[in-house]
Amino acid sequence: MDKAQTTIQITGMTCAACANRIEKGLNRMEGVEANVNLALERASVRYDPLVVDDAKLEQKIIDLGYGTIKQTADSNENAGDYKKQEIRRQQLRLAAAIALSLPLLWAMAGHFAFTSFLPVPQLFMNAWFQLALAAPVQFIIGWPFYVGAYKALRNGSANMDVLVALGTSAAFFYSLYETFRTLNPSGHGAHEAELYYETSAVLITLIVLGKLLEALAKGRSSEAIKTLMGLQAASALVIRNGVEQRIAAQDVIAGDILLVKPGEKIPVDGIVLDGSSTVDEAMLTGESMPVEKRQGDELIGATINKNGALRMQATKVGKETALAQIIRVVEEAQGSKAPIQRVADRISGIFVPIVTILAAAAFAVWYLIIEPGELGNALEKAIAVLVIACPCALGLATPTSIMAGSGRAAELGVLFKGGEHLESTHHIDTVVLDKTGTVTKGKPELTDVRTAAGFEEKRLLSWVGAAEKNSEHPVAEALVTGIQARSIALPEAEHFEAVPGFGIEALVNGQQLLVGTRRLMEKHGVNVQKAEAEQQELESEGKTVMLIAVNGQYAGMAAVADTVKETSAAAVARLKAMGLEVIMLTGDNERTARAVAKAVGIERVLAEVLPEQKAKAVQELQAEGRKVAMVGDGMNDAPALVAADIGMAIGGGTDVAIEAADITLMRGDLNSIADAIRMSKVTMANIKQNLFWALAYNVIGIPIAAAGFLAPWLAGAAMALSSVSVVLNALRLQRMR
C-alpha cells in the first residue's frame, strides 16, 4: 500500500538537538519516515496508514516533550497565529528580563577599572537586592529552559536548554550560596560575597533576545509562501440556480459557473464559456504581456482579468488549482533536507555531551591547577564554555538557506521539488532540450504564403481558410488562425472532404480547391514542378508546406512551422557561457530538427528518437560520465525526465510536469534553466558559508572561553549573534536577481 503523507507543525523546539530527537523518535515508529525542519518548526512525515495515523504521530511528538498545532485546512494560518503569539510572548519576556537585568549589569560595571567613573547606587551592590532581581529572571523568564532541559534528559539526550540551564543555574546557585554566607552566623566579620547574579540574568536576557531576533528572521525566510498565498482571490461571483451571489473563493466547487469582471482576480482554475479579455498571467509564467482569452481557453486561478467580462466554469478548486500545487511544491522543498545537512545533524547529535565534558574539564583545570581553590573563577570559565557552544547556528545553517533559496527560486518561476535537487542541480554539465514546446512554442503558426502568377493573395487565403476551418488537423488550425489574424473574412465552403495523409478537397465560391501534399497534386494531375525550388527552400528551414491548386491549376503554397521562442537563442547562448553543453533530443525528422537547432545555436542534435528511446539516449550520455539535465514538457518526455540526473519540466505547474520532474520551470522561457542552476550554485555556497562559520565559531569560541578570555555574558551575546548571523546570511538569497 502507498504511504500517506502529512505535515505536523511543532512547538517547543529550541535547537538542532530538539529536531534530531523528534526525527529519531518518529523514525523509530514502524512504517514511518520523518524529516524535521528546525527553521520551519515542522515535521514532514510519510507513514503506513495501516500501522499508524496522524493522531499517533502527534502523540509521539507530545510524549517526547513538545507540542503540535492541529492540522486543518487552515493549518498554515494557525501556525502563523501561533508564531505571532510566540513572538509577542518573547517580546514580553525580553522586556521584563531587560528591566530586571539592567541594575545587575550596572552593578557589574562598578567592578571594572575602565567603568569606575560610573556612579553605582549602594542598593545595587546589596546581595539580597540582586537576589530579588535575579530570581524572577532565573525561574520565571528562564523557566522554559528548565522545562526543555528536563524533557531532553528524560528522553536520554541533551539540547541547548541543558547547556543554558546548567550554566545559569551554576552562576545563580553559587551566588545564592555566597548571599547566605553574608549572614555570617559565626560573627567573625562581614563576608565579602562573590556574586554572579548578573551572569545568569544577563545570559538569559541575551538568549531570549537572540531567540526573538531568530524568530523574526525565520519569519522573513518563509515570505515566499506568504507571498504565494497572498495571490489567491478572496471571493468569487458565482451563478447558482440562476442567481448571482458573492461567495468566498474557497467555497467554489468544480462545475460552478462564475463571472469575472475586469480588474478582478480569477478565483479558481477553469475554462472560458463566454466573453473575451486579456489576462495577466505574470504571477505564474513571468510573462509581462497579458494573454488573450476566448471561449474554450483555460484560465488559471489568481491571474488577473484585465479588460473584458468573462463567464467561466470552474474545473479545479482548492488544493487542485495550479497555484495550490505551486505552494505545495515550495512547502515540500522548504521542508526537505539537502544531503549536506546530514553533516550538521551528525555533529549536533553528539555536540551537547561533548561540550558538557569540555566545560567540566575547564572547571577542573582552573579549580585544581591554574587557580587552586578559586571556585568562583573556575565556575565562570565553565559557564562561558557551556553557553558559547550552543549548536543553534549549526542546526539552522542548512534549512534556512534551503528555505530562502527555494522560496526565491519560486518567485523567479523555478520550483525545486526538494532540497536534494536544489543541492545537486549545480553539478549539471550537459543540458538536453526537447524541441517541441521547449525550444519552440509547441504550436504551429502560418509563416509564409507564396502565390503563383494570376492569383491574388488575400482572395486565395480566404478560400483556403474557408476550406481548412472544417478540418481538425493541427496544420489546418494553424492556417485558419494565421489567415484570420490577417483580418481576412472566410466564406462558407459548399463542399469539404478530408483526404487522410494527403490534405483536403473543397468547393468554395464555386472554385474547386485542393490544399495538401505534392502527392495530392499528382493524384489530381496538377503540375507543381515550378514550385519545387520554393518548397524545398521552405522545408529546409523546418517548415511544413501545403501546396494549393484552384480548378486544377497550381495557385501557390502556404507554410506553417512550430516557431522558435523569442528567448531560446539567448538562453542557449547563456547556458554555453556557463560552460554547459546543450543537446537537442527530439522525435522530429532530422531536417526539421537541425533547422531549429541551427536557429538557436545548438550543434549536437539527436533526431527521430521515439519517446520510449529518449530515456535510453539520456542514459547513454550519462554513461559518458556526464551529469545530465533533461528539459521537456513533462508528458511525452516523462521517461527521459525520470532517467536524467535532474529532470526539468516546462509548463504551468500541471500534475504530470510536477510528478515527472525534479524541477518545474513555470515560465516557458529557457532562461529559467540557467536561473535554476545559478540558484542551486549560490544556495550551496550560502550553506557552506553558514556551516563553516557555525563550526568555526565553536572551534574558536570554546578554547577562548575555556582559557578565561571570555566573560559568560559575552559568551551569551556571541552565541545569540551566531544564530542570528546564520539566518541573516541565508536571507541574502532572497535578494538574488
| Predicted pLDDT of residue 180 | 86
**What pLDDT does 658 receive?**
56
Query: What is residue 331's predicted lDDT score, i.e. its pLDDT?
Result: 66
DSSP sequence for 610-625: -HHHHHHHHHHHHHTT
Residue 211 has pLDDT above 80, yes or no: no
- Comparing CA positions, the residue from 641, 727, 219 lying closest to residue 421 is 641
Given a cut of 90, whether residue 132 has pLDDT beyond it is yes
Phi, psi torsion values for 528, nearest 5 degrees = -120, 20
Q: Is the pLDDT of residue 655 over 60?
A: no
- Residue 569 CB-density burial (10 A; 0-12 exposed, 13-18 middle, 19+ buried): middle
- Across 183-192, 595-604, 629-638, the highest mean pLDDT is recorded for 595-604
Look at residue 685 and tell me whether its pLDDT is greater than 90.
yes
- The CA distance from 282 to 304, in Å, is 9
Residues designated as active site? 434
Q: The dihedral of CA 513, 515, 520, 522: what is its sign?
A: positive
| pLDDT in the model for residue 654 | 47
pLDDT at 293 over 60: yes
Report which secondary-structure segment, H or E, holds 593: helix 590-600
Q: What DSSP string runs through 624-671?
A: TT--EEEEE-SSTTHHHHHHSSEEEEESSS-HHHHHH-SEEE-SS-TH
Query: How would you label 439-469 residue by residue, b for 16+ Cβ within 10 Å and e otherwise?
Result: bbbbebbbbbbbbbeeeeeeebbbbbbbbbb
pLDDT tens for each residue of 417-459: 877 888 889 999 999 998 877 888 877 889 999 999 889 999 9
Mean pLDDT in residue range 621-629: 94
Burial of 11 (0-12, 13-18, 19+ CB in 10 A): middle
Report whether pLDDT(345) > 80. Answer: no
Closest alpha carbon to 259 in 276, 271, 244: 244
Q: What is the pLDDT of residue 580?
A: 96
What is the per-residue burial (b if ≥16 Cβ within 10 Å, else e) of 127-151?
A: bebbbebbbbbbeebbebbbebbeb
**Cell output for 622:** 550519462
Indicate whether 187 pLDDT > 70: no
Mean pLDDT is lowest, of 325-334, 473-482, 487-496, 679-688, for: 325-334
- Cell representation of residue 469: 476551418
Tell me the per-residue pLDDT of 510-567, one tens digit each, with 9 for 90 and over: 999 999 988 899 999 999 988 888 988 888 877 888 999 999 999 999 998 888 888 9
Give mean pLDDT, residues 154-183.
79
Confidence band, pLDDT 50/70/90 cuts, at residue 79: low
pLDDT above 70 as % of the chain: 85
pLDDT at 717 over 90: no
Residue 366 contacts by C-beta under 8 Å, 6 or more apart in sequence?
A: 374, 377, 378, 381, 382, 708
Report CA dihedral (420, 422, 423, 424) to the nearest 10 degrees.
80
pTM higher than the cut 0.85: no
Q: Is the per-residue pLDDT at 632 higher than 80?
A: yes
Residue 219 pLDDT class (50, 70, 90 cuts): low
Helix (H) or strand (E) holding 685: helix 671-706
Is the model's pLDDT at 500 over the cut of 80? no
Q: Which residue has the cell 572561553?
A: 705
Averaged pLDDT for residues 666-676: 88
State the Cα–Cα distance between residues 142 and 207, nearest whole angstrom: 10
562-592 pLDDT, tens per residue? 888 889 999 999 999 999 999 999 877 677 7
**pLDDT score for 256:** 93
Element (H, E) at 508: strand 503-508
In terms of residues, how long is the chain?
Answer: 737
pLDDT at residue 653, rounded to an integer: 41
Pick from 266, 341, 255, 350: nearest CA to 301: 266
More confident residue, 384 or 611: 384
Query: DSSP letter at 265?
Result: B
Q: H helices within 511-580, ranges in order?
A: 518-523, 532-540, 568-577
| pLDDT exceeds 50 at position 40 | yes
Residue 280's nearest CA partner among 309, 307, 260 is: 307
